[in-house]
């Protein structure tokens, strides 16, 4: 009797003493929860998150991912494997997502390797969205690239390009290593996120250009902006053009431009700011002083007046009157709901409505931008740093020095200082992935595309995952 009571007591103790390791790790909790809410995590993987994943378990998740991307039910087919009758394995085999160790053996209980997961994920995406193309060549390399099996190289590089499979602190992919449940869930969730947008993300993306992304208007480069009705314009040394149109809007050099409501504002060869009505083509000079950059926000234009030492001026688009708003030379202000911010290169300031300023951060910085609740800027070494709006200590988020950067929905995009190539950089500093082997002088982003300008004046459009590339001018 005593033995029976002790057994019951121990059972109760175990029931209420779940090991901490059974839950997702703190760094994985948010994405694991989001993946579960999205319906791509099999029930049997929703516990003991530090356990390694088997081939059969990951195959089940790959099929849930396929169902999510296609919005279809999983096909019901008969398994050809002798060692498993799992419905997900059979469906995945029929769709070309997975293959067996042989025609009759799948080895369901073997631990899945990182390179096998990459192949399954790439195949799941290809089966769900046949329109997605994968590059023939990849710019990014890994120190342990030679250890990736020939049959997995394309998939490993694709999943790295998509920022799904990331390397360790030394950049190694570790293709033969196994993966825990929580790590595997994150891989599937990240791939799903590259193909699906939530309403909140689309709203954030739509308002991105007024949150600081376009603060320097490419400084004479390939500045691209969306207009109402979906029309996209870009500027260059040959003038201003509509995207995907042979008909120019204006055939004279425009150093940079801003499209705002029904008009286009641009800097001419003389450094002055001009207004051109889109419908009529009528032009007028708004600012006769020399400027090298400007931006538009909330019915005002902000520009740097080089005739006044580089001070920032604010011009109302209702009265066309200008007033200086900074005491000395500065970058264009970053304006958002939280306020107006600017840098003079030595510190970051917040400007109140009465134009008084408060210093938020002291330290050399350049290319100040604002995304959400964080500032991003280049430090003295050319590394991208993030800083909370209230100030504090910056965090380095790029592992490489860069010349310039801008935002996308999922990551930062930058030009490397050493090789002038285009990189995608994670907001949290997890990766620096080379997107293209070309050399460029400037970049910008709009929608899910990156626009890069080369030294010869060519403007190239990349898809956000570098699966498409085309010259547009």
Residue from 165, 147, 213, 225 nearest 465 by CA = 165
- Percent of the chain beyond pLDDT 70? 88
CA separation (Å) from 365 to 14, 215, 294, 342? 55, 14, 19, 11
Helix 181-195 vs helix 55-70: crossing angle, to nearest 10:
20
**Interval 149-177: pLDDT, tens:** 999 999 999 999 999 999 888 889 999 99
Per the CB < 8 A criterion, the answer to whether 179 and 154 are in contact is no
CATH superfamily of 338-473: TolB, C-terminal domain (2.120.10.30)
Pick the CATH number of 216-332 from 3.40.50.11030, 2.40.50.1070, 2.40.50.140, 2.130.10.10: 2.130.10.10
**Interval 186-201: pLDDT, tens:** 999 999 988 876 544 4
CA–CA separation, 277 vs 284, rounded Å?
A: 9
CA–CA separation, 126 vs 69, rounded Å?
A: 11
pLDDT reported for residue 211: 29
**Interval 326-353: pLDDT, tens:** 999 999 888 877 788 999 999 999 998 8
Helix 114-128 vs helix 181-195: crossing angle, to nearest 10:
30
Instruction: Give the mean pLDDT of the chain.
Output: 85
Residue from 422, 435, 401 nearest 160 by CA = 435
Whether residue 87 has pLDDT greater than 90? yes
Going by the DSSP 8-state scheme, the letter that residue 114 receives in this structure is H
pLDDT reported for residue 265: 87
- Domain residue extents for the chain: 21-196, 216-332, 338-473
Residue from 431, 470, 434, 427 nearest 452 by CA = 470
Structure-model confidence comparison of residues 374 and 385, the more confident one: 385
Q: Which pTM value belongs to this model?
A: 0.81
Whether residue 392 has pLDDT greater than 80? yes
CA–CA separation, 161 vs 150, rounded Å?
A: 18
């Amino acid at each position: 009797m005593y033995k029976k009571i002790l057994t019951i007591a121990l059972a109760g103790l175990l029931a209420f003493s779940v090991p901490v390791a059974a839950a997702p790790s703190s760094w994985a909790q948010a994405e694991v929860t989001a993946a579960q809410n999205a319906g791509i995590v099999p029930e049997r993987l929703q516990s003991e998150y530090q356990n390694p994943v088997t081939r059969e378990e990951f195959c089940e998740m790959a099929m849930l991912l396929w169902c999510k991307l296609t919005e279809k039910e999983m096909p019901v087919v008969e398994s050809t494997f002798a060692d498993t009758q799992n419905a997900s394995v059979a469906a995945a085999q029929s769709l070309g997502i997975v293959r067996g160790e042989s025609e009759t053996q799948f080895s369901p209980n073997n631990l899945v390797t990182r390179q096998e997961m990459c192949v399954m994920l790439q195949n799941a995406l290809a089966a769900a969205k046949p329109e997605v193309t994968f590059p023939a060549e990849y710019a990014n390399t890994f120190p342990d690239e030679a250890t990736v099996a020939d049959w997995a190289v394309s998939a490993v590089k694709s999943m790295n390009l998509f920022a799904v499979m990331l390397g360790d602190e030394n950049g190694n992919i570790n293709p033969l290593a196994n993966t825990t449940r929580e790590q595997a869930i994150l891989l599937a969730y990240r791939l799903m996120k590259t193909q699906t947008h939530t309403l909140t993300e689309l709203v954030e993306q739509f308002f991105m250009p007024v949150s600081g992304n376009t603060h320097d208007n490419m400084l004479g480069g390939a500045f691209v902006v969306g207009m109402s009705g979906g029309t996209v314009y870009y500027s260059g040394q040959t003038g201003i053009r509509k995207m995907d149109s042979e008909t120019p809007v204006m055939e004279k050099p425009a150093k940079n431009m801003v499209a705002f409501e029904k008009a286009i504002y641009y800097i001419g060869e003389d450094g002055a700011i001009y207004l051109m009505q889109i419908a009529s083509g009528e032009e007028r000079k708004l600012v006769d002083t020399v400027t090298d950059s400007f931006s538009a926000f909330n019915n005002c234009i902000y520009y740097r007046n080089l005739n006044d030492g580089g001070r920032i001026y604010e011009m109302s688009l209702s009265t066309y009157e200008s007033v200086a708003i900074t005491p000395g030379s500065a970058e264009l202000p970053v304006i958002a709901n939280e306020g107006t911010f600017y840098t003079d290169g030595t510190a970051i300031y917040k400007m109140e409505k009465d134009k008084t300023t408060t210093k938020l951060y002291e330290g050399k910085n350049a290319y100040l931008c604002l995304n959400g609740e964080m500032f991003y800027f280049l430090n003295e070494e050319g590394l991208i740093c993030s800083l909370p709006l209230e100030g504090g200590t910056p965090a380095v988020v790029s592992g490489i020095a860069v010349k310039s950067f801008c935002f996308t929905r999922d990551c930062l995009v930058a030009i490397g200082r050493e090789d002038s190539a285009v990189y995608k950089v994670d907001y949290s500093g997890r990766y620096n992935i080379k997107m293209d082997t070309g050399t460029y002088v400037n970049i910008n982003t709009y929608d899910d595309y990156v626009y890069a300008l080369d030294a010869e004046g060519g403007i190239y459009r990349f898809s956000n995952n570098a699966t498409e590339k085309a010259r547009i001018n």
